[in-house]
Amino acid sequence: MNREGHNIKYSIAPDVVIVGAGLGGISALYHLRKLGLSCLIVEKGDDIGGVWYWNCYPGARTDSGVPSYEINIPECWKTWKWDKLFPVYDDMRRYLDHCDEKINIRKDVLFGKTVVRAQFDEVVGRWAVDLNDGETLASKYLVLAVGPTSQRNDGLDKTLEPFRGKVYHPCNWPHHEVNPECQDVAIIGNGPSAIQIAQTWASRAKSLALYQKSYNTALPLPSCPSEGINHECPDHRREELFESRKQTPSGLAVWAPKHKGTFEVSDKERANTYEANYNNGVCFWLCAFNDMTLSKEANRMAYDFWVRRTRDRISNPRKRDILAPLEPHFNIGSKRPALNTGYYEAMDRDNVDIVDVSTVPISTAVADGIITKDGTHRHHDIIIPAIGFKPMADSLVSLGLTDVHGTPFKNLCEGGLQTFLGIMHTGLPNLFMINGPQTPGERCNVPTCIDVQCAWIRHIIQRMEKENLETIRPTSQSAESWSNEVYNAFNMDYYTASSRWANGGKPGFYAGGMAKYAQALDDGLAAWDNFEVTKGASRGV
């Protein structure tokens, strides 16, 4: 079915419409321009960067080191040097400006626009993409690079309505300085953004209350002197590092897991291995031993080390038991740990309170603060709800996607997502998703996922153009096969305690790791019978 009468006035008709100008959208733009295709990005923000435009909250920085946290665009990385191993927000902004200087990103971006509806018209062989200002774009290909962090969790909005102070969301932080001095601050949540804000503001605020439902197995942020980042690295070595990311489960350069199990070594070697990896950030749970996600005993052993080292950093007994309980509530690593710079010492301060909302939930907000179920009224001038994001599928639903018959994407997903490799979805011709559901993105280094997916999309479209194909979509069999692979790779016993990952028994991400995913992408390109295609006119690419 096509849109009524086909009498649609298209404002702009590029070959490719890309939704989102974050790292994924930028990478897609780079790759598809190389095919000679005209591309246009639709971006709801006022500048490029995606998460690195919106998340300008205090303390924001990457939790993957460079060069792992970098998209593989030679024109950019060959002329750029980092001065921190883990770049902060301002570093990322300078990096993005540098990328724009080298490959001219902004000239092909419509800023301040959102997609409200998108449907593929089979008669004209184009996506009709409606924008919030009434414009309609037409394109042969539609690439969705909205990412997993574009729709914030709004579950506390109604609860906080009575509050008359300031409410700041980490993913929509104002682009001006917010001063916490002489302010009573509340942070709700204990994920990476909450931790980064808390450790930055604890010494500046008059008081800070952290409302925590679950502890975070936060690890120390690795340190590296600036000269360790800025050393000359030959281009071939840099290319090897980029390539190595695809060969590790985590998608991090060189950081491969050990080949030994927790109990295959002596007590002394085990302790030394934990200690050596503890100060290397996520390497503690990615690289120490190969059985942390497979063995409950191995996982508990790692937790016991983490909890001992962490409790040593907290002098207040009550805070110690809330922030680092002796008995684990979930498997270490089943929730992505934050990287911290003095977080536990900051939480140990006298002006900081920890509220365990798993035992004393928030009852309501009032004009000047929050009241918990036990009747305690805490005064706040600023409240920061750092409670994460909606599932990735919700971000896609918000775009008003419909299949060729006009069926909304939400209805298509009622029986579960039907993606092929997390990049394409049944019923949606010529549509590609970057870092979407059923990919390893939520548990892997994001730029690695972006690089391998954009390269894959480029190969698919290049072959389509050369073979005069008008449309492509995955078969129901290939989508079902990938869904089974996603389910089989997901260790429900390991992730059960983390509802975000378990998703009601339907895994939202691929847990097999980057190396296996990269191989699946290669296999998907080799088997063209994974797709339904229709012939069209040549474009000569």
Better-predicted residue by pLDDT, 407 or 173: 173
Q: What is the mean pLDDT of residues 214-221?
A: 95
342 in the Ramachandran plot: left (φ > 0), alpha (ψ -120 to 50) or beta? left
The amino acid that residue 73 corresponds to is I
Residues 428-439 pLDDT 10s:
999 999 998 999
Mean pLDDT for the chain overall: 90
Query: Any residues with CB less than 8 A from the CB of 202 and at least 6 apart, and which?
Result: 208, 346, 347, 349, 351, 352
Exposed/middle/buried for residue 252 (C-beta within 10 Å: 0-12, 13-18, 19+) = buried
Tokens of 186: 């509340």
Q: Are 42 and 135 in contact (CB under 8 A)?
A: no
Q: What is the mean pLDDT of residues 97-123?
A: 96
| DSSP E strand boundaries for 408-468 | 419-420, 424-425, 431-433
Residues 490-499 pLDDT 10s:
866 676 545 4
Exposed/middle/buried for residue 537 (C-beta within 10 Å: 0-12, 13-18, 19+) = exposed
Q: Are 92 and 83 in contact (CB under 8 A)?
A: no
* pLDDT greater than 70 at residue 34: yes
- Rounded Cα distance between 216 and 348, Å, is 15
* pLDDT greater than 50 at residue 110: yes
pTM listed for this prediction: 0.93
- Rounded Cα distance between 57 and 148, Å, is 18
Domains in the chain: ranges and CATH: 4-151+390-535 (3.50.50.60), 155-216+339-388 (3.50.50.60), 257-337 (no CATH)
* pLDDT greater than 50 at residue 182: yes
* pLDDT greater than 70 at residue 361: yes
- Which range, of 113-122, 181-190, 257-266, 488-497, averages the lowest pLDDT? 488-497
Residues 454-479 pLDDT 10s:
999 999 999 999 999 999 999 999 99
Q: With CA atoms as reference, report the closest residue to 84 among 225, 235, 199.
A: 225
- Rounded Cα distance between 371 and 377, Å, is 4
Q: What is the pLDDT of residue 480?
A: 94
Share of the chain above pLDDT 90, in %: 68
**What is the greatest pairwise CA distance in the chain?**
75
**DSSP calls for 255-301:** -PPPSS-GGGS-HHHHHHHHHHHHTTTTHHHHHS-TTTTT-HHHHHH
Q: What is the pLDDT of residue 536?
A: 75
Q: What is the pLDDT of residue 25?
A: 98
| Euclidean distance between the first and the last CA atom of the chain, given in angstroms as a whole number | 29
The amino acid that residue 108 corresponds to is D
Residues 375-395 pLDDT 10s:
999 999 999 999 988 777 788
Q: What is the pLDDT of residue 279?
A: 86
Tokens of 202: 């604890």
Q: Are 181 and 205 in contact (CB under 8 A)?
A: yes
Q: Is 142 helix (H, G, I), strand (E, B) or coil?
A: strand
Q: What is the pLDDT of residue 2?
A: 43
Q: What is the mean pLDDT of residues 150-157?
A: 84
Q: What is the pLDDT of residue 444?
A: 87
Which phi and psi (to 5°) does residue 497 adopt? -70, -10
Share of the chain above pLDDT 70, in %: 91
Better-predicted residue by pLDDT, 535 or 35: 35
Q: What is the pLDDT of residue 253?
A: 82
- Rounded Cα distance between 486 and 500, Å, is 15
**DSSP calls for 365-389:** EETTEEEETT--EEE-SEEEE---B
Q: What is the mean pLDDT of residues 77-83?
A: 92
CB contact burial 463-490 (16+ within 10 A = b; e otherwise): bbbeeebbbbbbeeebbeebbebbbebb
Q: Which residue has the tokens 């909205």?
A: 146
> For residue 531, what is the enclosing H or E element?
strand 531-535
Better-predicted residue by pLDDT, 534 or 250: 534
Tokens of 119: 């449907």
How many DSSP H helices and E strands does the chain contain? 20, 23
Q: Is 508 helix (H, G, I), strand (E, B) or coil?
A: coil
